[in-house]
Amino acid sequence: SGEEQSPHLFQFHKDGFLVLEQFFSTEECDSMRSQIQRIVAEMEVPPHCRTAFSTREEEQLQAQGSSDYFLTSGDKIRFFFEKGVLDEKGNFLVPKEKSISKIGHALHAYDPVFKQITHSPKVQELGRKLGLERPVVVQSMYIFKQPGIGGEVTPHQDATFLHTEPLGRVVGFWIALEDATKENGCLWFIPGSHTNGIRRRMVRAASGASTCVEFVGSEPAYDDKQFIPLPISKGGLILIHGEVVHKSELNSSESSRHAFTFHVMEAKGTTWSKENWLQPTPELPFPSLYT
């Protein structure tokens, strides 16, 4: 019965996003938050964050260490920090639970709580309503958006980072684990901006290059007035088309804006770009959304 579309899905295809309030319960949100607290409590600071810079060469090694840490995080649970929260020896300048920007990119595969949420019956049902035949989960992230320091995310399209042939096969599921407001950094979208393809791609650099990834093409200058804010209450879900332009502002408020997000690709008739930073591995082929 995939033919007749609910008004909801018409809206998604028109705007490139869809807000579904109260998709998850307070209890489900709190279970994710307490699980992430446990993960952070056990966290070791990654070695590449600890080395004191001295020579230019060591700085390059450090940058390479950071990029390797990122590039190989697709099938692991790894930690990424806000700027300025660690000193040059890798000691925290703020409490460690307040220092993290995000945790990724395989929570959906290796953590029981996040796995259960990702594959929950209502998510699978939503996938079927979207007409996804062979959806697979390509990545997940827990995003903290820390009070006062949670950095801005500049306007972008997810397909810049998660490229497929053809386009239009990737959809993000973004879950608010706390109320997301204009003050604490909610998402902003340009409605209808998912229909013009993509202008920029992040690709793996040739081996031996000084950086691990590079950008091809350039992000156009978007008109700030075109963005609309999407505040959403705790438990709400925002569906994000892979090519819709969105951003979030710096969190200058006193409250965090935790979110759990994962990306799903329709695998039927789709090629995942070999140039994407994220690649399936023998340890973790992209798992099916449907169980």
Q: pLDDT per residue over 41-63, tens digit each? A: 999 888 888 877 677 787 777 78
Q: Where are the domains of the chain?
A: 7-272
Whether 4 shows a pLDDT value over 60: the answer reads no
Q: Once rounded to an integer, what is the mean pLDDT over residues 194-213?
A: 86
Whether 149 shows a pLDDT value over 90: the answer reads no
Position 87 scores a pLDDT of: 84
pLDDT bracket for residue 279 (50, 70, 90): very high
Position 76 scores a pLDDT of: 96
- Compute the distance between CA of residue 114 and CA of residue 141 in angstroms, rounded to an integer: 10
Averaged confidence pLDDT in the chain: 93
Q: Once rounded to an integer, what is the mean pLDDT over residues 222-228?
A: 96
Whether 2 shows a pLDDT value over 70: the answer reads no
% of the chain with per-residue pLDDT over 70 = 97
Residue 170 near residue 159 (C-beta atoms within 8 A):
yes
96 phi, psi to nearest 5 deg: -60, -35
Say which CATH topology domain 7-272 has. Answer: Jelly Rolls (2.60.120)
% of the chain with per-residue pLDDT over 90 = 75
Position 207 scores a pLDDT of: 73
Instruction: Please give the sequence-ordered ranges of beta strands (E in DSSP) within the chain, or none if there are none.
Output: 17-20, 77-81, 100-105, 135-143, 153-156, 164-165, 170-176, 187-189, 200-204, 213-217, 228-230, 237-241, 246-248, 259-266, 271-272
Q: Once rounded to an integer, what is the mean pLDDT over residues 78-89?
A: 87
Position 140 scores a pLDDT of: 98
Which residues have CB under 8 Å from 228's CB, separation 6+? 188, 189, 190, 191
Q: Is the dihedral of CA 3, 140, 156, 187 positive or negative?
A: positive
Whether 65 shows a pLDDT value over 90: the answer reads no
pLDDT bracket for residue 84 (50, 70, 90): confident
pLDDT bracket for residue 172 (50, 70, 90): very high
Position 5 scores a pLDDT of: 65
Q: Once rounded to an integer, what is the mean pLDDT over residues 72-100?
A: 89
Least confident among 209-213, 221-225, 267-271? 209-213
Q: Strands 271-272 and 164-165, how do they pair?
A: antiparallel
pLDDT bracket for residue 175 (50, 70, 90): very high
Whether 176 shows a pLDDT value over 60: the answer reads yes
Position 1 scores a pLDDT of: 41
